[in-house]
Amino acid sequence: MKALVAEMLSPEVAEALADAGNSREFGGHLGKLAYDYVFGELWSRPGLDRRSRSLVTLGILIALRATEELHLHIPAALKNGLTLQEIEEVIYHASGYAGFPAAASARTLAAKILAGRGPAGNDGE
């Protein structure tokens, strides 16, 4: 599971989430719950590949206007095989179901996150 989180997000995030259960910080155990349940149970299930899970996740996070999570999941979506054009289409599609303000917010955030990336959706990796 640590390898999955490291591949999708970063080795630093994987380490922080894995160690979050030992945190004395207010609400620090929340990261451990995410690590164990979201990545350990949901992202590891066999029914959808990671690319498909990223499509679903982006749509849900856009609808929820979950900008903190989108900061993590937009780059993760690229690592999971989505292209810049597909991320754009998810945002466009969300405008019809989650509303234009949610989609516009996601577009602004995605543009900031993706600035400087090449047309293939990566920065030379």
State the CATH architecture for 48-125.
Up-down Bundle (1.20)
The model's pLDDT over 33-53, given as tens digits with 9 standing for 90+, comes to 989 999 999 999 999 999 999
Stated pTM of the model: 0.86
Question: How much is the average pLDDT of 15-20?
Answer: 85
SS3 (DSSP) at 98: coil
Sign of torsion, CA 80 86 91 93?
Answer: negative
High-pLDDT (> 70) share of the chain, %: 94
User: Which tokens is 55 given?
Assistant: 């499509």
Res 121: pLDDT: 44
